[in-house]
């Protein structure tokens, strides 16, 4: 794993992803699709294997490919941390600003997403994050209700997040593939409410998907992100 991918993995995932072995002769892509940390069917019945396969192998791969395409003509940008790039979009060449925003954001958001879900997840959040949620929102149930409502009422494609802003926890939404990092807020976890995340199994029933999603929340991983925020 090169430095760029190592830094990205450390910052975004805060968990160990398998290192991808590369043949000496193969041209090294700037960014690489991280492997899913569990099998495609591991999150069933809440998220089906077909959705996971399309979501990871096609959608996430496309963000990585398009990000690489955007950065290829700019060697000076290729060794910068992706978080730094998306936090300073106005400093990028105008020709690639939108592409880095959408595809860099997409790569960061999805790398995070795979790691804050886990088979056998769900239940009440334990540890520091559980305590912080109850303190900020009254109860886990009240937090869930507010989070689901924000995700359900977000028009079009985007994400619903729990973020750390200063010392406060906040629920926020972002359109498209925007990251809370672009607004100077740290994403503790988020749920992808693009139709590609749920449509094969839930069709237009986004609310049902949002409710069901808690069953795959990886609270141990989320807590680790919170403690390192």
Name which of 105 and 121 has its Cβ closer to Mn ion. Answer: 105
Distance CA 167, CA 189 (A): 16
Assess 192 for contact with Mn ion (CB under 5 A): yes
In this structure, the number of other CB atoms found within 10 A of the CB of residue 224 comes to: 19
Name which of 159 and 226 has its Cβ closer to Mn ion. Answer: 159
Assess 148 for contact with Mn ion (CB under 5 A): no
Conformation bin of residue 127: beta by default, left when phi > 0, alpha when psi is -120 to 50: left
- Which residue's structure tokens are 């994400």? 159
Task: Tell me, by CB under 5 A, how many residues bind Mn ion.
Answer: 2
CB–CB of 176/157 below 8 Å?
yes
Assess 178 for contact with Mn ion (CB under 5 A): no
Closest CA to 55 of 160, 152, 157, 194: 194
**C-alpha torsion sign, points 132, 136, 137, 139:** positive
Name which of 117 and 129 has its Cβ closer to Mn ion. Answer: 117
Name which of 140 and 194 has its Cβ closer to Mn ion. Answer: 194
Task: For the CB of residue 209, give the shortest distance to Mn ion in the complex, in Å.
Answer: 12
Considering only the stretches 129-137, 166-174, 176-184, 189-197, report the one whose residues sit in contact with Mn ion under the rule CB under 5 A.
189-197
Residue with smallest beta-carbon separation from Mn ion: 192
Task: For the CB of residue 63, give the shortest distance to Mn ion in the complex, in Å.
Answer: 8
Q: Given the rule CB under 5 A, which residues bind Mn ion? A: 192, 194
């Amino acid at each position: 794993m090169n430095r760029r991918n190592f830094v990205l993995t450390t910052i975004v995932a805060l968990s160990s992803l398998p290192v991808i072995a590369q043949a000496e002769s193969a041209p090294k892509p700037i960014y690489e699709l991280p492997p899913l940390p569990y099998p495609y069917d591991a999150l069933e019945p809440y998220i089906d294997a077909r959705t996971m396969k399309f979501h990871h192998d096609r959608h996430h791969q496309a963000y990585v490919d398009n990000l690489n395409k955007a950065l290829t003509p700019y060697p000076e940008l290729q060794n910068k941390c992706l978080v730094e790039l998306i936090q300073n979009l106005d400093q990028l060449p105008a020709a690639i600003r939108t592409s880095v925003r959408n595809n860099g954001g997409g790569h960061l958001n999805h790398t995070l997403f795979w790691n804050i879900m886990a088979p056998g997840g769900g239940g009440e959040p334990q540890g520091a994050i559980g305590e912080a949620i109850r303190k900020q929102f009254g109860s886990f149930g009240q937090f869930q209700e507010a989070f689901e409502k924000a995700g359900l009422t977000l028009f079009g494609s985007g994400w619903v997040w729990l973020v750390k802003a200063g010392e406060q926890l906040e629920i926020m939404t972002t359109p498209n593939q925007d990251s809370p990092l672009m607004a100077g807020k740290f994403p503790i976890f988020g749920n992808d409410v693009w139709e590609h995340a749920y449509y094969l199994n839930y069709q237009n029933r986004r609310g049902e998907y949002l409710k069901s999603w808690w069953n795959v929340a990886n609270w141990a991983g989320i807590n680790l992100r919170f403690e390192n925020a």
